[in-house]
Amino acid sequence: MSTSTPPDPRLIRRVALASSVGTMLEYYDFYLYGALSATIFGKLFFHSSDPAIGTLLALATFGVGFVARPLGGIIAGHFGDRVGRKSVLIVTLALMGASTVGVGLLPTYDSIGTGAPLLLVVLRVLQGLAHGGEWGGAAIMTVEHAPRGRRAFYGTWPQMGVYAGIVVSNLVLGAFMLLPDAQFQSWGWRVPFLLGFVLVIVGIYLRRSITESPEFEKTVSSRETARVPVVEALRTNGRGIFVTFGAKAAETGTFYLITVFALTLASRDSGPGETAALNGVLVASLVSIVTVGLFGVLSDRLGRQPVYAFGAAFMAVFAFPFFWLAGTGSTAALWLALIVGLAIGHASMYGAQTLYFSELFDARVRYSGASLGYQLGAALIGGFTPLIASALMLRADGEPWPVAVYIVGLCLLTLLVVGIWGQVRTRASASPAPSTSPTDSDKEIRA
């Protein structure tokens, strides 16, 4: 039986809240950018006589931010595993906030010509670097502070911040979209980016008030920190990185399909319109804040892998019905597709993800390993999913079935990785510390 002091519930909640505010800012910005890149950024920042080509170029810059995310994960992971999780999280939040405000101040193509898209790409790269280090630190800090037996639930707090960021960005963007088109395209779209500064101030205040991860402090006190954490992670936890990447495929592909590409579908002549899609994503995200917590509780009871596999299998089955519902032209059908896809299919994977990925790595390389696998999946699959989906539909004369096939393929990849390699890796690495409760210890081993 452990004689260690039990975790302070107030501290755990404060750490979880600080993590969720940070991820809220990350996805507040990323959803703002994704929504506008699918609608007006093509004509604001790119010179093209074909609106469809302009939209494709704008979606490509959306993907550029993801290319920088693995590098951001490596850099943040290195310092997070050697210097500490807390200080790195403050830096990533500040960098993300600065680049978000920068987008809101950026001149358009009509003002400075080709300098506009070039500066946009630079800001997207900075956002990608910040985002690359954000999730891993926020997730790991929360999990490493949480008590055993409730780690998956507390691990959903950063994930709740993701959905909350979408909700806030939808509300803010929706309010400014009520402006006349000329005003919105002139200055209205800028204000939501500038308002992100408020979240930065709140997030930095909260993160400065929390303590360092106890597992990191134990690693430092025992002088077990890795010299080059990412190299050590590749050497000793290479399978964990592969599993994280493969498991991420279905989750990130479906997330950006639902939250970004759905706007493109809704904007077609036969669709219900951008406003209907934005409101649908808003409602789906509100529901997901609740369901992701429930799936976290379920993950603590049943294990991470079964819950994660359920989400991937569900989305494989739901891929074709999603496009059928979204393509009917009915607002109600579109909302149903968004709610079911986000609040059940995606939220079930998200609810298990934080603890599942964290458990695949030792504490001394956890920030580096989890961030690298996660961000490689986000960069190679998630960031370019809207672009791939648009290109597939263009080649299919507007038919969405090739995109559904693409999503099914991602889900099958995740099921294969989680079901085979993921299971082997988790069992091999399961070595829970002594617990004050046999039930809690059993839950860790079962997971």
Which residues make Cβ contacts (< 8 Å) with residue 168, sequence separation at least 6? Answer: 24, 28, 199
Which residues make Cβ contacts (< 8 Å) with residue 446, sequence separation at least 6? Answer: 302, 303
Specify the length of the chain in residues.
447
The whole-angstrom separation of Cα 179 and Cα 172 is 12
Mean pLDDT of 269-292: 85
Range with the poorest average pLDDT among 230-239, 418-427, 434-443? 434-443
Task: Summarize pLDDT for 52-95 with one digit per residue, the tens.
Answer: 666 666 666 766 777 888 999 999 999 999 998 999 999 999 99
Can you give the pLDDT at residue 368?
A: 94
The answer regarding whether domain 9-210+228-422 maps to CATH 3.40.718.10 reads no
Give Cα 265 to chain centroid, integer Å.
22
In the block, tokens 């987008």 appear at 103
Task: Summarize pLDDT for 235-246 with one digit per residue, the tens.
Answer: 988 999 999 999
Can you give the pLDDT at residue 283?
A: 93
Task: Summarize pLDDT for 178-217 with one digit per residue, the tens.
Answer: 899 889 989 999 999 999 888 889 889 888 888 888 888 8
pLDDT at residue 437 above 60? no
Contact by Cβ (8 Å): 389, 403: yes
Using alpha carbons only, give the angle 75, 154, 30 rounded to the nearest 5 degrees.
50
Can you give the pLDDT at residue 269?
A: 62
Contact by Cβ (8 Å): 309, 295: no
Can you give the pLDDT at residue 142?
A: 92
Contact by Cβ (8 Å): 312, 377: no
Contact by Cβ (8 Å): 25, 96: yes
Closest residue by Cα to residue 261 from 191, 327, 165: 327
Query: What confidence tier does 357 reach under pLDDT thresholds 50, 70, 90?
Result: very high
Can you give the pLDDT at residue 7?
A: 63
Average of per-residue pLDDT values in the chain: 84
pLDDT at residue 443 above 60? no
Task: Summarize pLDDT for 401-411 with one digit per residue, the tens.
Answer: 888 999 999 99
Task: Summarize pLDDT for 166-176 with one digit per residue, the tens.
Answer: 899 888 988 99
Query: What confidence tier does 398 reach under pLDDT thresholds 50, 70, 90?
Result: confident
Q: List C-alpha distances in Å: 248 to 199, 252, 312, 338, 376.
A: 27, 6, 10, 20, 9
Q: List C-alpha distances in Å: 66 to 16, 59, 133, 299.
A: 25, 11, 12, 28
DSSP 332-380: HHHHHHHHHIIIIIIHHHHHHHHHHHHHTS-GGGHHHHHHHHHHHHIII
- Between these two residues, 270 and 111, which has the higher pLDDT value? 111
Can you give the pLDDT at residue 274?
A: 73
Every domain of the chain and the residues it spans: 9-210+228-422
Percent of the chain with pLDDT over 70: 87
The whole-angstrom separation of Cα 277 and Cα 266 is 6
Mean pLDDT of 221-236: 88
In the block, tokens 């839950």 appear at 443
Can you give the pLDDT at residue 74?
A: 94
pLDDT at residue 426 above 70? no
pLDDT at residue 105 above 90? yes
Task: Summarize pLDDT for 18-32 with one digit per residue, the tens.
Answer: 889 888 988 888 778
